[in-house]
A and B are shown apart, each in its own frame.
Chain A
Amino acid sequence: MLGKNQKIKPEDAETIIGAGVKVDGTFTAFGNVIVKGQLLGSLKTESDVSIKEGGSVDADIKAKNASIAGKVDGNLEVNQKIQLANSAKVTGDINCQVLSIEEGAILQGNCKVGGEKNATPEPEVETEE
């Protein structure tokens, strides 16, 4: 019998969009997301995104890490690392800390790699005099 330690916590759970499935809308997940099918709209997760070969995403992506072997049409905003495999085809802007591109990958768009993390401007505070 399988042990109790083999269950997975919700934050580790993997959402899988299979090859026979199309998702349309604002997709927000709490764990890793694997895309083998089709996704339209937007994709946001605090964990990692993996777009497998044959997978197609027509959406802006926000994630911690991204590994892409399929097709992406949208901007990628990733906190840490983006890996493009040789079968990857990305049309959109990339913003990440580390970018790894295999020979054969196609990337059409602007890249911003490295720099300050969380480079969001401080909100201006109005003071009364």
Chain B
Amino acid sequence: MYFYIYDSFLQEKKYKRTISKIETRLATLDISGSKRRLTALKSVQEIVRSLSKNESPTIVVIGNDQTFCKAATAMAGTDSVLGFIPVKKDSEMAKILGIPVNEYACDIVSARRVEKLKFGEVNGKKFFSSISFNASKTILKADQKYQIIPQKTKKIKIVNLDLLRFNKADESEDFKRIASNPKDDYLEILMGRPGKKFLFFKRKQELDSLFFVEKLEIKPKKSKHSVDINIDKGKDKIQAPATVNVSNQDISIIVGKDRLI
């Protein structure tokens, strides 16, 4: 049984045509299903938990990366399968999973090529894509063996499933890996200075360091420092000290042929 979760921003008039094309394509492929809409009162986590009670459902998120990541973490450890129809052209998850945007993604959902992917955990809270925080006030202890002390680095990103860069600026030539590997027992630590745009001037990102760790402790340099850890590029935050590791739960995700993982 297919269930489709529509992101709340899709109620805007400009998406009406896109949604109509997606629904037509789903009907043509004979994979139409039950619809759920996100509202201010209904979170994606609530909807996913109630749908997961059905027998082996296929839950498809129509929306953006943040909603897809929230749905994924809510589905951890269930036997549900998660699909994604991205409607934002700059979707990084779409690029990593090899899914085209809008109605073209329906064919990927229909082909149903499934991969099992892992989660990351920060203080027991799951994340699907990455967590990030300011580097200047933190010390990292990796795998109980060595400390990583940022000195001129501005930002740290710990990646489970994401592109190994901070934003859309060009990649450093040292970084041969394009995306992380969410199927192994390692998380990638990416450090550097993110790119910025000032009116007509664009500062390139500077990727400095890349490490692979199984377990990581994030500590503030001084007890008076407060370090906010941002989860999955959304509004969820937790405070350091924190322990980060790979979760032992996984999720089945529908991917495309051109995936980067």
Contacts and interface: CB of A to CB of B under 8 A. Distances in A.
Interface of A: 1-4, 6-8, 10, 13-30, 34, 36-37, 41
Contacts of A17: 209, 211
B212 A30 contact: yes
Contacts of B212: 10, 13, 15, 29-30
Contact of A13 (B177, B178, B257): B177
Contacts of B192: 18, 20
A16 B174 contact: yes
Given A7-B260, A30-B212, A23 B174 contact: no
Given A4-B259, A8-B176, A16 B209 contact: yes
B145 A27 contact: yes
Interface string B236-261: 00000000000000000000011111
B181 A16 contact: no
Contacts, number: 94
B152 interface: yes
Contacts of A23: 146-149
B36 to A, nearest CB: 30
Interface of B is mostly: loop
A7 B181 contact: yes
Interface residues of B, number: 33
A50 B179 CA distance: 23
A33 to B, nearest CB: 10
| Nearest 8 interchain pairs by C-beta | A25-B146, A18-B208, A20-B152, A18-B209, A20-B153, A22-B149, A16-B210, A24-B147
29 contacts: A2-B95, A2-B258, A2-B260, A4-B257, A4-B259, A4-B260, A6-B178, A8-B177, A10-B212, A13-B177, A14-B174, A14-B176, A14-B177, A16-B211, A17-B209, A18-B153, A20-B150, A20-B191, A20-B209, A21-B148, A21-B153, A23-B148, A24-B146, A24-B149, A25-B146, A26-B146, A27-B145, A30-B212, A34-B174
A21 B147 contact: no
B95 A1 contact: yes
B191 A18 contact: yes
B172 to A, nearest CB: 9
Contacts of B98: 1, 4
Contacts of B175: 16
B133 interface: no
A19 B152 contact: yes
B41 to A, nearest CB: 37
B260 A20 contact: no
B151 A21 contact: yes
Interface in B138-193: 145-153, 174-179, 181, 184, 186, 191-192
A31 to B, nearest CB: 8
A39 to B, nearest CB: 9
B178 A7 contact: yes
Contact of A14 (B178, B191, B210): B210
Given A14-B174, A20-B150, A26 B260 contact: no
